[in-house]
Amino acid sequence: MRLSQAEKQEFLAAPHVGVIAVPEPDGPPLAVPIWYHYTPGGDAWVLTGSRSRKAAALRSTGRCTLVAQTVEPRVRYVSVACRVVEERPSTPDDQRAMASRYLQGDALEGYLEHARDDEALASEVVVVLRPTQWLGADLTLG
């Protein structure tokens, strides 16, 4: 059963581990798991290493697809085609906002401490993604 636009946005706003798929010029799309942040009616954003394959592919093509799914309690998915509208250096506030969607308590504080000390995480960029096309369904029977 198709999800309404409001249901798709509500689903994407929940803290699922997503998959981002980005076209690469000389091969298949790069598709990898990713943490993402989304507020209904707005843009999504992700953090990635400034020199990562993801960042290079996003800069090159300016587009991607973000997918989130669950299998329990219902089999649901949302797939969003996006265009890149901004890239900027990440801040500690960005790191906290993203990590706090997925981690709590000691795990969150441990991650943030590690992020401050890890050169790769400290040099991440925020990539802002504007949804342009939505797909989504509840595939649960009954």
Number of domains in the chain: 1
In degrees rounded to 5, what are phi and psi of residue 5?
A: -60, -40
pLDDT tens-digit profile of 40-50?
999 999 999 99
Residue 141 lies in a domain: no
Q: Is residue 37 part of a domain?
A: yes
State the residue range of the domain holding 73.
5-136
48 assigned to some structural domain: yes
Tell whether 142 is covered by a domain.
no
In a domain? residue 31: yes
The whole-number average pLDDT for the span 18-24 is 97
From the list 79, 47, 48, the residue with the least C-alpha distance to 64 is 79
- Indicate yes or no: pTM above 0.85: yes
- In a domain, residue 23? The reply is yes
CATH number at residue 83: 2.30.110.10
Calculate the dihedral angle through the C-alpha atoms of 10, 12, 13, 19, rounding to the nearest 10 degrees: 170
pLDDT tens sequence across 51-83: 999 999 999 999 999 999 999 889 999 999 999
Query: Is residue 66 domain-resident?
Result: yes
User: Quick one: pLDDT at residue 55?
Assistant: 96
Could you tell me which residues come within 8 angstroms of residue 33 by beta carbon, excluding any fewer than 6 positions away?
17, 18, 19
pLDDT at 111: 87
124 located within any domain: yes
* Radius of gyration in angstroms for the set of CA atoms belonging to the chain, rounded to a whole number: 15
Query: pLDDT-derived band of residue 120, with 50, 70 and 90 as boundaries?
Result: low
- Three-state secondary structure call for residue 28: coil
